[in-house]
Amino acid sequence: MGLLDGRTAIITGAASGNGAAIARLLAAEGASVALLDIDGGGAANQAAAISDDTGAPVFGARCDVTHAADVEAAVFQTLETFGRIDVLVNNAGILLDTPLPGLDMTAWERTLAVNLTGPLRFIDTVAPAMIAQGEGGAIINITSIGGSLGFASYAAYCASKAGLMGVTRAAALALAPHRIRVNAVAPGIIHTEMTRGLYADPAALAEITAKIPLGYVGEAVEVAKTVLYLACDLSSYVTGTELTVDAGYVAQ
Ligand SMILES: NC(=O)c1ccc[n+]([C@@H]2O[C@H](COP(=O)([O-])OP(=O)(O)OC[C@H]3O[C@@H](n4cnc5c(N)ncnc54)[C@H](O)[C@@H]3O)[C@@H](O)[C@H]2O)c1
């Protein structure tokens, strides 16, 4: 018996890092999973590996969350393939330098398009199917400790993640009458492609590790375990909130 037997989940940004780990864990807990990514080949490869390891029904497809037509096609494909959608994980995200002064408006607009407008569009596209099913649902947005802490070089990223928490609260209230729960997971420093630069610089890695109360950079599966909690019935009375997965970083 898995925690998500009979459920279907969409994961964006599932070709690597946190998204791939979330897809793998949800599949291992019995979910059918659509792995979506702007890197369609990467999503297909992850899906094949997860299928081999878990036997779960999964598929991988290209979907750029900034394109409405891609989002609509991906939701349609998921419904055609699995017949229902119970869980949406808005995980796709980018981290671009936006130092001040000297703002790069292209980087600002791209960051908001991927990290903020994309998740909002996905919620808006998936919600009608969840409502029509009449059995509730779970939406999880991947925010960041950068949504509540300031990072000097990343104004756009910080703004996008703070904004996504605003979307989380509003959507939680809007969809509560349909028993669709909407929550966020805010990772701290996690070992993924996004933080590859840290691993290339031992001094920077040692400096950041010294600031993490539990004393190590997290692994993507540690984010995935919290997403699983919010996706399944263990969190049946939880909506409109953010769970921070940061080894105590923001508690300081
Ligand atoms: N790694 C960390 O330390 C950390 C910390 C806090 C929050 N996060 C968040 O976790 C999420 C996943 O990041 P990660 O660390 O796994 O990085 P990652 O770079 O490994 O994964 C991000 C994925 O999103 C995909 N993507 C990018 N733009 C896209 C688009 N327009 N449409 C669809 N897919 C797109 C990428 O191809 C990639 O597969 C992001 O939302 C990120 O902000 C990561």
pLDDT per residue over 141-173, tens digit each?
A: 999 999 999 999 999 999 999 999 999 999 999
Considering the entire predicted model, what is its pTM? 0.98
- Cβ-based neighbours of 75, under 8 Å, separated by 6 or more: 10, 85, 122, 125, 126, 129
CA of 134 to the centre of ligand 1 (A): 31
Residue pLDDT, tens place only, 52-90? 999 999 999 999 999 999 999 999 999 999 999 999 999
Tell whether ligand 1 has an atom less than 6 A from the beta carbon of residue 112: no
pLDDT attached to residue 129: 98
Residue from 18, 22, 165 whose mutation best tests the ligand 1 pocket (most atoms within 8 A of CB): 18
Between CA 134 and CA 115 the distance in angstroms is 29
Mean pLDDT within 32-40: 98
- Structural class in CATH, domain 8-189+219-251: alpha beta
User: What's the whole-number average pLDDT of the chain?
Assistant: 98
Instruction: Give yes or no for residue 15 CB within 6 A of ligand 1.
Output: yes
What atom of ligand 1 comes closest to residue 146's alpha carbon? 6
**DSSP annotation string for 68-98:** HHHHHHHHHHHHHHHS---EEEE-------B
| pLDDT tens by residue, 125-149 | 999 999 999 999 999 999 999 999 9
Query: Does the annotation mark 237 as catalytic?
Result: no
The CB of 64 under 6 Å from ligand 1? The reply is yes
- Record the tokens describing residue 4, joined without a space: 């998500």
Q: Kindly state if the Cβ of 20 falls inside 6 Å of ligand 1.
A: no
pLDDT at 67: 98
pLDDT of residue 199: 86
Ligand 1 centre to CA of 115 (Å) is: 9
Q: Is the CB of 37 under 6 A from ligand 1?
A: yes
